[in-house]
Amino acid sequence: MNIKQYLDSTYLKTAEQAGISEEKNNLVAQEFIQEAIEEHFKLIMIRPEMVSLAKKMITEANSLVQIGTVIDFPEGTSLLEDKIQEALHAIQDGADDLDFVCNYMAFKNGEIDLVKEEILRCTQLGLAHNKVVKWIIEVAALTEKEIIQLSSLIKNVIVSNFEQELFPKVFVKSSTGFYKTENNLPNGATIPAIMMMLENASPLPVKAAGGVRTYEEAVAMIELGVKRIGTSGAKMIANGQNSNNEY
């Protein structure tokens, strides 16, 4: 299976998180962008401040690689208007995909109307600009019941407010890859979590992000039904090697 068109090659660390200088971190991001171009991956997922650079590099290379970025990353607790402004800036810089971190803490606290409004307005913004929108639900922070409920909530907002032909452009995504778990429990996509998402988000597509580190794991996710996979080890996975990257 040629899995490259499922892979969103991902580099989302700040210099502080990577333990390196800003200059070095920028170089690492550039290496990821260049690799995505050379390997013909579906998309390069990069921090918002790197989108304009990615756009320049991809345009100069006459490449078809798309650009994704994260919004309100990684906590998802910002005010709605701040999320919208960050998304608008990313659109202006040339992003194709907008991966919003859903305010899952508000959801867990029962602030359902707040979450519905966020999903509706941010999705409206993305689709109005012909972008792909993904909603990161952070499965490691949720119980199984909450994974089911939040996947269903996102599905219901989209199905109730948008035309059917737009459903393939709105994803439910498993993880940021940055959530800190206790006792080294998985903080990304797991088979049980993805199965719950697929069952309850349908007809919306699902992106498995975080924790997919081998070709076999990627194929298993695709065979389950995911349409995209986020990984910082895209080249190794595509070449059948195991990635030891954190995300």
Is 72 in the active site?
Answer: no
- The catalytically annotated residue of 42, 131, 134, 173 is 173
Is 145 in the active site?
Answer: no
Find out whether 237 and 213 touch, Cβ atoms under 8 Å: yes
Please tell me the distance from the alpha carbon of residue 44 to that of residue 198, in angstroms, as a whole number.
24
Is 99 in the active site?
Answer: yes
Strand partners of residue 46: 11, 69
Please enumerate, as own/partner, the contacts of 85-92 that have beta carbons within 8 Å and a separation of 24 or more.
86/48, 87/122, 87/125, 87/126, 88/125, 89/48, 90/48, 90/51, 91/126, 91/129, 91/131
- Provide the token pair at 208: 């498995």
- The catalytically annotated residue of 99, 131, 134, 169 is 99
Find out whether 67 and 44 touch, Cβ atoms under 8 Å: yes
Residues annotated as part of the active site? 99, 173, 207
